[in-house]
Structures are given as C-alpha cells and as structure tokens.
Amino acid sequence: MLIIKDLKAAINGKQILKGISLEVKAGEIHAIMGPNGSGKSTLAGVLAGREFAEVTEGTVTYLGKNLFDMAPEDRSKEGIFLGFQYPIEIPGVSMVNFMKTAYNEHRRHKGLEPISASDFLKLMREKKELVEIDSKLTNRSVNEGFSGGEKKKNEIFQMAILEPRLAILDETDSGLDIDALRIVANGVNKLKRPDNAAIVITHYQRLLDYIVPDVVHVLYDGRIVKTAGKELALELEEKGYEWIKEHV
Amino acid sequence: MNNLPERAERYYRLYEENIKKIAENSAPFINSFREDAIAGFLKTGIPTKKNESYRYTNLDAFFNHDYNSYFIPGPSDFLKAEDFRCDVTDLDAYGVVLLNGFYPTINGELRELPEGIRIGSLNEAANRFGDKVEKHYGKCINGNPDGLVCLNTAMASDGVFIYVPEGAVLKRPVQVVNLVDSETDMFSQHRNLIVVEDNADFTIIICDHALSPVKFLTNAVTEVYVGENASFDIMRVQNEHNNACKITHTFIHQERNSRVSSNNITLHGGLVRNSTYHYLGGEGAESNSYGLFLADKWQHVDNYVSVDHAFPNCTSNQLFKGVLDEMATGAFNGRIYVHKDAQGTVAYQKNNNILLTDDAKMDTKPQLEIYADDVKCSHGATVGRLNDDALFYMQSRGINKREALLMLMFGFAHEVIRNIKVEALQERMDNLVMQRLRGELSRCASCMVKCDKLH
C-alpha cells in the first residue's frame, strides 16, 4: 500500500529525515516510536502533504502512485488520513459543514452524488457513538473550545466518517487520560479492516496496550534504527530510549 | 468666510443658499438647532486626516465634488420607494422605506404599530408629537464636535422617528430601507430619532441601498435613547455601490440596566464611514457593538467606535472584522473611555482583519482611556492572512484549496454575523457574504427595483 524509500526531508535547511525506508501492507498496523525531535511528526506531515518540510531525496509510492504528485486534498480523497497531534481550531466553520463538505468531496471523487442532509446527520450520529463524542461538540465550530481529549476524539470521529485506507495517527495519545485513550484506541480498532492500514506514531508504549501493532519501528535522529514485532515496544518501555542510543 | 478651506466653503454655501427653503419645510424645534450647528461646522469643517478620529480616511474624493442637493421631495418621488421590495423573503418585519432621506408622508399621521409604538417622519413628529422629540432630539449627540454631525444638524430636515412606549415589546423588527435615487450626482442628509422607553424591547434593521449609478454622498445621523432596563437591537446592512459614499453617525444613549446590541454589516460601498457612539449612562448597562465589512477594488471602509463608561458596573464588548481584497483599504478606531467613578467596568474590544492581497491595507487603532481602578479591560487587533494551518487541516480532509479558503473567510465573517438575532436576517447575511466572497454578488442582485440603466 505504502512504500517509502530512502526519504530525506529538511525544515529551513536543517535535515530532519535522514533516509527512511518502510513498507506498509494492507491489513497492517505499524507503530513508529521515538524520542522527541526524532522526526516522527515531520514524517507524518510529509506523508499528508504539509508544506513545512522540503523533501530532498527519496520516493513515496502510495497504491502504485507517486505520493508527491498529489495535493493534500487529493491524498485525502485517495484514502490517506492524518490524525493531527495538535488539531486546529477553525472559528466560524461548523463541524457539520466542515465534515459534510469533506465527505462530499470524497464522494465526488468516487463519482457519487452528494449525500443528503438527513443521511449525513444519520451517518454523523452513527459515528459519534463509535467514538463516544458528545453530541453538542458537533454543533460547534471545528475544535473551537474543545478540551485536549475532545480534540483527539474528534480526530478519530473524522476518521470514522472518512473511512481512510491509510490512517496516520500522530501522537493521538498525547495528553489523553486513560479513559480517553481507551476510547480513541477502541475507535481505531473498530475501524480496522483487512483492506486498510494504520501508522500509529507515539512516544509512549501505553497506547500500544490498546492498539496492537504488527510492526514496531524506532525512529531516532531521522532514521529508523530498529524494526521488530510488538515486543519491541515493551522492551523500549522497559529500557528507555537511552538503550536505543547505545545501539545506534 | 475667507479662512474656510474650499470644501467646507462649498457646504457652507449650500447652507446659505438653501436654509430658507429648508427651514420653511421643517418643524420650528428642529430649526432651532441650525444656527449653532452651522457655527460648529464652521469651526471644524469637513474632517481631514488631521482629525484624530478620521486619521485613516480621506474624504476628498467625495466631498470635493459638486452635487445636486435634495431638500424637498414631491409625492411622485415616493412611487419608486413604494415599489421597493426587500428580497429577504422570510423577514417578517414592519417595513418603512425612506427615499433620499425623507419619510414618505402621505397625510402626516404617524403610523401606529402594536403596543402603542409610533413610527413616522421625524419632521411630522416634531410638529405633532412635540414633547417626545423635544425631550431627546439633539441630546444623544451631546455636543459632539464632528463637523459632519454639525452639518447634519444644520441642514437635515427629515428621517425616521420611532417611539416605543414604556414596557412595549415588539416581537417583529422594524425594517427601514434607505434608498438613494437620482438622475444626477446627489448629496443628501437625514436624521433619525429612536426613543425606547423603560422596560421596552425593540429591534430595528436599517438597509442602505443605492438605486442609480450616479455619485452619491450621504451623511446620516441617528440618535437613540434607551431607557432603564430596556433592550434595543440595531442592525445596519450597507449594500450600495463603488460610486456611493455613506457616512453614518449613530449615537446610543443607555440608561440603567439597559441592553444594546449594534451590528454593522458593510457589503458594498465606495467609501463608508460608520461612527458608533455608545454612552453607558446608568449602572448595569450592557452594550455590544459588532461590525463586519468586505471590501475590494478601491473601496475604503472605516469604522469608528466609541464606548463611554460613565457609570459603575457596565459591560461593553466590541467585535469588528474586515476582509480586504485587491486594493481595498480599511480602518478601525475603537475607543473605550472609563470615567473615574465607573468602577466594576468590564470592557472588551477585538478587531481582526484579513488581507487577501499585498495591495490591501488596514489601519487599526485601539484607544483606551481608563480613569477607574477596578476595571477589567482587554483589547486586541490583528491584521493578517488566513491561517495556513487551518487551510492545511481542511485540505487534509479532502476539501480543495479554493473551497477551504472560502470556508475560512466565511467562518471568519460568520463570527460577527452569528450575533444577529433575527434568524432570517442572519441566514440572509450568511448567504450574501458567501455570494460576495465567491464574487457572485453584484449590487443588482439584491435590488428589486426594476430599472434598466444599471446593467
């Protein structure tokens, strides 16, 4: 589904990603772990098409296409979803209008007619239950006045509506209490299908108690320094990132 | 008058030449203000950039021009006004149409609405309803030295008068449509007086339209008295054209525990200047002043707001926003004055602007003078571009860039529009703003007068 080859990227001339290679197949969940500043969020941003980083080398192929030929909105419509570490507040734009516009763009891309207002509300209701999000929140402006936990739940809610093929969750667990963490993880697990995949980026192991990864990568100083099964996360938790540094 | 600058002299001459005719057709009480007012005008003249409150606005392009002036309307003039239909179809309002600043007086009677509310020509009211007019006319202005306010007092002879008696609650709003219509370039002035007595609740919508493509200069003054524990809502929608200059001065005097909300939406106009003066003249009064403008081409929109906290424990809130495209320019000047005894004051001010091009320009200036010590005050102003992070967030959900930009601008504008309490009008404004942002709104789109020369 996603093949990353020797990806290098810089922000303001400073090299952040120093050659990343990685392949994600349908049905897999990959966890990317690493200390602060290792390049986790840069990788997520580059995959979603954020312009802050400049790709200096390497290729990313998504479903057989060159990802870098696609605008962010086209990546979304082709099934890539980025769950933001810091979801953005958009005052004056209602959640309903925001999601309905996005959903219909996706439908149009598939050659489908726009969804009716009542069907969309039904869909929203259904997905709201999945992530246990407060009904009132979806009547408000996008993320405006949401608590940290509500913002993260809202990311999963949006993901549930758009049903991506490849979800990239950037530190969705940061700042969550254990209940919210469970709800977020539960949402991710319920949306899992044999034909989709997820990249879960996290600093801590605890999210991986709830979302069980098939593969764990450790990112350190812009490179993947270790790849193994889910047991790597536990080992990392136990020994800390210092242990990784010794292996570099 | 040798010392007068040329453009002030032009208007003084207009006064000299016409004052006899104006006075003959005006109520004596209104005439009694004219001499002092023209003296005041001669002192200050037409404001220039040297006047602090007009610092960012150059009035020359509209004031250095010869206009046909309009003093006495004939009955046929009102036929067009009667033809006018507001296109906000769901707006369930009592409608009044003013043509070139005159109320279409048929028989001089004041129209009576439910709950004893009277509405009619200011001039006729001064004749027939003298005590109410005399009690409030010229009072809310409170010696304001602005030369244009003086010029209005010196020469205006009509406008809308509304009287809302004690305890009256009108569920439907009153809508006043100001039409300007002329074969030749025209200067007009009108004067409104609204009296909302204690415990009353009243909503007014004022819409400004220009019907002909000539150059218009309008200088309007509205005085509002809001009694104890009364509620008053005023919304002004300005949708004229690039050759029209609209200058409005609104003075709102509030008594104890009264609540006022003012909302100025400027969709279209060549040069627009709105001055809104809120005087909190009794403990516990609350005032909300909102404004939104969308400007492009060479348009210039200037909002001046003054909130005067004269008594303790009053609350005020200002929120003004602007979207400027192409070479448009704008200004915001927000003044908060807290008197020494006005303890417990809460006063907020916010001004946010978006520049869509490098050529657009916005000047914003807060002006806080606080003489009390127990005060909660905040102000903030931003001039910038749309938030790139928000844009990317929307794109990352599949919304294309153009649509995302529109939604962001709309969201930005909606923060002001959502304060409009009349639901049908709120929806209509959302619609008009969206059309305006999409570039689909021509001034003819919202004009129902069937004329053939505007296309």
Complex-level ipTM: 0.95
Name the residue of chain B whose CA is nearest to A155's CA: B397
**Angle, alpha carbons A19-A23-A24 (nearest 5°):** 135
The pairing of strands B111-113 and B94-99 is unpaired
> Does residue A120 sit in helix, strand or coil?
helix
CB contact under 8 A, A91 and B393: no
Cα–Cα distance for residue pair B380/B302, rounded to 1 Å: 17
Q: Please tell me which of the candidates B396, B404, B412 has its beta carbon nearest to residue A48.
A: B396
Q: Please tell me which of the candidates B398, B413, B415 has its beta carbon nearest to residue A105.
A: B398
Identity of residue A195: D
Q: Which of B281, B213, B223, B220 is nearest to B246 (CA)?
A: B220
Give me the helices (H) in B244-371, please.
Answer: none
The whole-angstrom distance between B399's CA and the closest CA on chain A is 5
Residues of A in contact with B397 (CB under 8 A): 73, 76, 98-99, 102, 158, 162
Cα–Cα distance for residue pair B451/B350, rounded to 1 Å: 41
Cα–Cα distance for residue pair B317/B263, rounded to 1 Å: 12
The whole-angstrom distance between B97's CA and the closest CA on chain A is 33
Cα–Cα distance for residue pair B41/B34, rounded to 1 Å: 10
Residue A192: what pLDDT? 87
Q: Tally C-beta pairs within 8 A across A and B.
A: 83
pTM: 0.85
Write out the two tokens for B225.
């008295």
CB B92 within 8 A of CB B133: no
* Residue A211 DSSP code: S
CB contact under 8 A, A71 and B395: yes
Residue B455: what pLDDT? 32
Tell me the backbone φ, ψ of residue A32, rounded to 5 degrees.
-115, 120
CB contact under 8 A, A93 and B410: yes
Tell me the backbone φ, ψ of residue B176, rounded to 5 degrees.
-110, 120
The whole-angstrom distance between A101's CA and the closest CA on chain B is 7
Residues of A in contact with B411 (CB under 8 A): 90-93, 141
Give me the helices (H) in A49-116, please.
Answer: 72-77, 95-109
Question: Looking at the DSSP assignment, which residues form a beta bridge with residue A114?
Answer: none
Name the residue of chain B whose CA is nearest to A77's CA: B398
Residue A184: what pLDDT? 81
CATH code at position A105: 3.40.50.300
Write out the two tokens for B315.
């609350």
The pairing of strands B244-254 and A215-220 is unpaired
Q: Please tell me which of the candidates B393, B400, B418 has its beta carbon nearest to residue A88.
A: B393
Residue A236 confidence class, pLDDT cut points 50, 70, 90: confident
Residues of A in contact with B395 (CB under 8 A): 49, 71-73, 76
Residue B451: what pLDDT? 42
CB contact under 8 A, B411 and A49: no
CB contact under 8 A, A97 and B407: yes
Residue B396: what pLDDT? 97
The whole-angstrom distance between A78's CA and the closest CA on chain B is 9
Range of the domain at A82: 2-247
Asked if A196 has any chain B CB less than 8 Å from its own CB, the reply is: no
CB contact under 8 A, B401 and A73: yes
Identity of residue B146: D
Asked if A189 has any chain B CB less than 8 Å from its own CB, the reply is: no
Q: Which of A64, A35, A78, A31 is nearest to A233 (CA)?
A: A31
Name the residue of chain B whose CA is nearest to A100's CA: B399
CB contact under 8 A, A76 and B415: no
Cα–Cα distance for residue pair A213/A229, rounded to 1 Å: 8
CB contact under 8 A, B399 and A105: yes
The whole-angstrom distance between A74's CA and the closest CA on chain B is 6
Beta-strand ranges (E) seen in chain A are 2-11, 14-24, 29-33, 54-62, 65-66, 80-83, 90-94, 141-142, 166-170, 197-202, 215-220, 223-228
Angle, helix B34-44 to helix B6-24, in steps of 10 degrees: 170
Cα–Cα distance for residue pair B393/B384, rounded to 1 Å: 18
Cα–Cα distance for residue pair B200/A228, rounded to 1 Å: 74
CB A71 within 8 A of CB A105: no
Residues of B in contact with A81 (CB under 8 A): 396
Asked if A44 has any chain B CB less than 8 Å from its own CB, the reply is: no
Residues of A in contact with B389 (CB under 8 A): 88
Count, residues in chain A: 248
Residues of A in contact with B387 (CB under 8 A): 88, 90
> Does residue B75 sit in helix, strand or coil?
coil
CB contact under 8 A, A76 and B401: no
Of the residues A93, A108, A144, A159, the best mutation for testing chain B's interface (the one with the most B CB atoms within 10 Å of its CB) is A93
> Does residue A81 sit in helix, strand or coil?
strand
What is the pLDDT of chain A when averaged over all its residues? 90
Write out the two tokens for B291.
């404004």
H or E, element range at B349: strand B345-355
Cα–Cα distance for residue pair B22/B28, rounded to 1 Å: 11
> Does residue A80 sit in helix, strand or coil?
strand
Torsion of CA A151, A153, A154, A157, to 10 degrees: 170
Residue B445: what pLDDT? 46
Q: What total number of domains does chain A contain?
A: 1
pLDDT digit of tens for each residue in chain B (455 aa)?
A: 446 677 789 999 999 999 999 999 899 999 999 999 999 999 989 999 988 899 999 999 899 998 887 667 766 767 766 666 666 666 788 888 888 888 876 556 788 899 999 999 999 999 888 899 999 999 999 889 999 999 999 999 899 999 999 999 998 999 999 888 888 999 999 999 999 999 999 999 999 988 888 999 999 999 999 999 999 999 999 988 889 999 999 999 999 999 999 999 999 899 999 999 999 999 999 999 999 999 999 999 999 999 999 999 999 999 999 999 999 999 999 999 999 999 999 999 999 999 999 999 999 999 999 999 999 999 999 999 888 999 999 999 999 999 999 999 999 999 999 999 988 889 989 988 888 888 776 544 444 443 443 33
Q: Which residues of A96-124 are buried (b: 16+ CB within 10 A; e: fewer)?
A: bbbbbbbbbbbeeeeeeeebeeeebeebb
A68 burial (CB, 10 Å; 0-12 / 13-18 / 19+) is: middle
CB B434 within 8 A of CB B403: no
The whole-angstrom distance between B386's CA and the closest CA on chain A is 11
Q: Please tell me which of the candidates B407, B412, B418 has its beta carbon nearest to residue A101.
A: B407
Residue A178 confidence class, pLDDT cut points 50, 70, 90: confident
Cα–Cα distance for residue pair B254/A171, rounded to 1 Å: 52
Q: Please tell me which of the candidates B394, B404, B414 has its beta carbon nearest to residue A92.
A: B414
The whole-angstrom distance between A232's CA and the closest CA on chain B is 31
Residues of B in contact with A93 (CB under 8 A): 407-408, 410-411, 414
Residue B87: what pLDDT? 64
Cα–Cα distance for residue pair A170/B20, rounded to 1 Å: 77
Asked if A167 has any chain B CB less than 8 Å from its own CB, the reply is: no
